[in-house]
Structure 1
Amino acid sequence: MDTGFVDLDILLTRIRHPQSKLYFLDAVKAYKAGALRGALTSAWVALVYDLIAKYRELSAMGDAATTAFLQSWDNATVAGDIAKLLQLEGSILEDATANTQVVNRIAKTHLERLREDRHLCAHPAFSAEADLFEPSPELARLHLVNAVDLVLSQEPLQGKAIFDLYDVDVQSPGFPTAYERILDYVEQRYLARVRTQNVRNFGTVLAKSLLKGVPAHWDPLHRKIIPSLVAVRERAAPAWPDLTQAIIRLIDNLEPANRPRAIAFIAAFPDLWPQLQEPTRTALQATIDNAAPATLTDYRILAGVTLPQFRVALLALIAALDREHLVNAVASHPLADLWARAVEEYKGSGSWRRSEANFSDLITPFAGRLGRQQLDELLDAVIDNGQNWDAAETDTLLLALLRNATPADRPSHDARNRFYQHIRRTRRTDKYEDVIIFLQSDGWVLPPPEPPAEDDDLAGAETPDRPDDAPKHES
């Protein structure tokens, strides 16, 4: 930058913190008056004050490194410990670079020169000459511009603290679970105020978690971590190309045991597939082709069903799953391609207790993920099997699932009509009263009763009202 053309008054307008601006104004006034030593001294004061102000902002966001420095600073201030304050002031650039990463290493080099020249200006002991150091106007102006460009105009950006914050946050109940909300949350909390290099490091940590299962306590949280990494790709795009190369290297060098993880990862980031080495693609394809229900232990492999190159083999694998493996697969990730198997298993429930278990294990995990067609299929599955519609918990489980659906995804009126007519014929309207009331909440009107069929009385007799604790038929 040619600092000779920088208007110092305009430079003042770029300073974020009001008090820092006042202190830096002293430096500008001194410079214009020709007091160049005073200009550098005031610029250093403004710089240190602004770093402390940035530390306070980051500490309020939970940054442990800035909090530790401020505790020492504030304790020394209260105690009037001038020696300690001078020691902390002298080390603040190193702390801001190495510990809090508020300042990057290139900026630190320029700012160290300001600190050295300020010392030469203010302290005779720092000069071997009889006279104090007198900076040139060009050098003084360069230091003023650097102070604003590198610190005073910058947002306080998080450094290494981002990892500690995310580690605690992603395990907490306050971390969002909805996909789009995670994108917004991660952008606002972790990406908007973090340096580009730390964004890349953050993304690499997320990728390692998904691909290698480290740290281990993040492993059950992959449904939160995947959209967190998507947020890096979509909301911090300048960091993504370099991060992509690091991820490709991770996948190409992945241990065989982690290949199911890689398949799930590629399903979430399909654009990476063509960039993998050919032997890597071959190994992942063979992993899927050779998978069998009897040896299936990592159900993340099924996420690859969304990719054309894996779909046929994985659909065949899903079709061959027994109930135990199906339950485990749905628990791992309720993929859309598992729904048909799940609702079919539920539809065929052979007892009331098995019906309730099937609903809890195979249907409830899809809450909030089902569209109108799937909910129509579920209502039909309830009324097509007496073990389902007459099980004690079906009404409660069904109501909870319906409440998780958006209004646009609720069952069609035709499916509701079929459901209502069936429970009316079988005299179960009292049991499903809350479900019917909820289904009417968006304007659906109860259909008129259907004309009685010749065997209508028999239909009611097939499944008579009985207490829920009556002996259950098991098959």
Structure 2
Amino acid sequence: MAVSDVEHLLTQVRTPDVRPLVGEAWICYSAGAVRASIAATWSAVTTDIIGKLIELADGDDGKAKLFSAKVVAAQSKGISTDGVKQMQQIENELLDTAVEFELIDSVGKRELERIREDRNLCVHPSLRPFGDVYEPRPEQARAHLAIALTTLLIHPPTQGRKAIDAYLDYTCDPMFAPESVSHIQAVFFDRLRAATRKGIAKLAAKHALLEVDPGERFPSTQKYADRSAVVLSAFAQRDSTLVRTVVAEQRDKFDNLDGAAQLRALGRLGAEDFFWDLVDGPLTDRLTNLLNVPTPPGPLDPDLTAGLAMVGNSQARRRLPVLERRFDEMNWYSKLYLIDLRPAEFYVPTLIELLREAPSFRDAEPIGQLVVAHANWLRPDTLRQALQAWAANDQCLKAAQMPQIATELFESTRHLGTDQQVAFLEFLAAAQQKAPDPEDYYRYPALTVAMNAAGVLPTAANGTAASSG
């Protein structure tokens, strides 16, 4: 590990009592006092483990309380023969205790044992025969410190089974927020060791792909699978290789799922690269056939809808061309429903057509709301086309909520600059031409006020917006 990396890790040491010790180890290393650096590193390890176990005891962990009592008993005897012997016995068993409490795993224990062995050679020169003095290399001291930091010192005391229990509590909480990606990454990825975070990633993959029953913690396998998909996506932003690995491990089980579950997984994870690593040729054919099943008149089957909703994703359309064909074949209402499930730039041309073809006032309003939801994907040309389609369809123009929706769209597209202003001036002129009465609600007075406030409309001498009609 590079010097700069070790320096960065030093800032992340969790236990206050340990920070001076690792700082001392680094100072000794920098000054060339290699033996002193290794000894200080081991002191930091023992102090950290004892401190974390006492912290667990303070948190009402029964086993940790027993350990804490041993430490207090040894400390109460001070620098006496019995006190030193008791503390030595505690330290001799300390790494085994750390494994028992899942502060480290068996691999971490072996790495920390090497530090202890080198520390013993550094502080007990007589351990070597013929009067030879142990001469550790500087890179050994830096490596020991890096291992101590990454294996133990920068991590909180909650690990292993307890970390997974905390994860299950979090993802089963009624207040779980799918938008809390950064929190998920910080608590369940950044602060955990590799083995623990891999365990959580495996758990999330099983639930997200296979809809494993979460038991009494959560009542719905499908909703919990949706939450697990959020976790996988958050983890993939940190370590895509890890997520690809744990997802690939589920391939055989996923291939044997029923079609409805596979379609739901497509809808849940189809926007993620790691999902498509799972989809080989035979599974592509199966998904294509599932999506191609003829549908009876009326509402779409919810499982089929979950899969079809991925038509907005470019990778899904490329891997499953049937998605776009099925979408093109849908009726007006089915398209509207699908767009509402998962807004995407792909739908902008369709929204313009839906505005043009809206069959009633009540149908027009949800389209207008969806246009606002897609505002970030509108370009000057598509905004102008949408407003022209809107103005040309009286079912849109004179629906009760549309004047307010038009105002929201104006505010949401301000980033388009002059082109946006021109498009809305044309739209407002067309609306007012169809509503000649100055008191008519469908002259879009709220939009007029917003455009005037933005300096888009000329202002009459009396301070009111001049008519654009």
TM-score (norm 2): 0.63
Q: Structure 2: where are the runs of 5+ without partners?
A: 29-34, 77-85, 460-465
Q: Distance in 1 between matches of 2:41 and 2:8?
A: 15
Pick from 141, 144, 150: which aligns with 2:147?
150
CA contact (8 A) 2:269 2:275 kept: yes
Q: Where does residue 424 of structure 1 map in the other structure? A: 432
Q: Distance in 2 between matches of 1:224 and 1:372?
A: 37
Q: CA deviation at 1:88?
A: 8.9
CA displacement 1:23-49 (0-9 Å, x = unmatched): 5759x99xxxxxx9x999976553232
Q: Distance in 2 between matches of 1:318 and 1:263?
A: 16
CA displacement 1:334-359 (0-9 Å, x = unmatched): 34444555554454445444444554
Following superposition of structure 1 onto structure 2, how do residues 434-449 of structure 1 map, counting pairs within 5 Å? 434-439=446-451, 444-445=456-457
Following superposition of structure 1 onto structure 2, how do residues 357-372 of structure 1 map, counting pairs within 5 Å? 359=368, 363=371, 366=374, 370-372=378-380
Q: Distance in 2 between matches of 1:297 and 1:174?
A: 23
Structure 1 range deviating more: 83-92 or 382-391:
83-92
Q: How many residues matched?
A: 416
Q: Where does residue 383 of structure 1 map in the other structure? A: 391
Task: Describe the SS at the equivalent of 1:258.
Answer: helix
Q: CA deviation at 1:245?
A: 3.1
Q: Distance in 2 between matches of 1:413 and 1:234?
A: 38
Q: Where does residue 49 of structure 1 map in the other structure? A: 47
Pick from 191, 194, 211: which aligns with 2:192?
194
Structure 1 pair 259–197 and aligned structure 2 pair: CA distance change class (3 A): same
Q: Where does residue 397 of structure 1 map in the other structure? A: 405
CA displacement 1:354-375 (0-9 Å, x = unmatched): 4445545x55654655554554
Structure 1 pair 302–76 and aligned structure 2 pair: CA distance change class (3 A): same
- Which amino acid in 1 is paired with 2:308? L
Pick from 318, 338, 344: which aligns with 1:329?
338
Q: Distance in 2 between matches of 1:402 and 1:434?
A: 11
Q: Distance in 1 between matches of 2:418 and 2:197?
A: 40
Pick from 301, 304, 307: which aligns with 2:307?
301
Task: Describe the SS at the equivalent of 1:412.
Answer: helix
CA displacement 1:409-431 (0-9 Å, x = unmatched): 99733421221102332144786
Q: Where does residue 325 of structure 2 map in the other structure? A: 316
CA contact (8 A) 1:39 1:140 kept: no
CA contact (8 A) 1:260 1:300 kept: yes
Structure 1 pair 89–208 and aligned structure 2 pair: CA distance change class (3 A): same
Q: CA deviation at 1:287?
A: 1.6
TM-score (norm 1): 0.62
CA contact (8 A) 1:23 1:45 kept: yes
Q: Distance in 2 between matches of 1:392 and 1:67?
A: 59
Q: CA deviation at 1:106?
A: 1.0
Structure 1 pair 107–260 and aligned structure 2 pair: CA distance change class (3 A): same
Following superposition of structure 1 onto structure 2, how do residues 344-363 of structure 1 map, counting pairs within 5 Å? 344-356=353-365, 359=368, 363=371
Q: Distance in 1 between matches of 2:317 and 2:19?
A: 58
CA contact (8 A) 2:244 2:277 kept: no
CA contact (8 A) 2:266 2:307 kept: yes
- Which amino acid in 1 is paired with 2:148? V
CA RMSD of aligned residues (A): 5.7
Q: Distance in 2 between matches of 1:197 and 1:262?
A: 26
CA displacement 1:155-180 (0-9 Å, x = unmatched): 62464427735863797879574xxx
Q: CA deviation at 1:108?
A: 1.2
Q: Distance in 1 between matches of 2:284 and 2:346?
A: 23
CA contact (8 A) 2:198 2:242 kept: yes
CA contact (8 A) 1:330 1:365 kept: no
Q: Distance in 1 between matches of 2:201 and 2:262?
A: 20
Following superposition of structure 1 onto structure 2, how do residues 39-438 of structure 1 map, counting pairs within 5 Å? 45-51=43-49, 93=95, 96-97=98-99, 99-100=101-102, 102-111=103-112, 135-136=127-128, 138=134, 148-152=145-149, 156-157=154-155, 159-160=159-160, 161=163, 164-165=166-167, 168=170, 177=179, 182=181, 187-188=185-186, 190-214=188-212, 215=214, 219=222, 229-237=232-240, 239-240=242-243, 242-243=245-246, 245-246=248-249, 248-249=251-252, 251-264=254-267, 267-270=270-273, 273=276, 276-290=279-293, 292=295, 294=297, 296-298=301-303, 299-305=305-311, 306=314, 307-309=316-318, 312-322=321-331, 325-342=334-351, 344-356=353-365, 359=368, 363=371, 366=374, 370-405=378-413, 407-408=415-416, 412-425=420-433, 426=435, 427=438, 428=440, 432-438=444-450
Give the share of equivalent positions with the same residue, in percent. 18
Q: Distance in 1 between matches of 2:350 and 2:8?
A: 64
Q: Structure 1: where are the runs of 5+ without partners?
A: 2-10, 30-35, 120-131, 452-475
Task: Describe the SS at the equivalent of 1:109.
Answer: helix
- Which amino acid in 2 is paired with 1:105? S
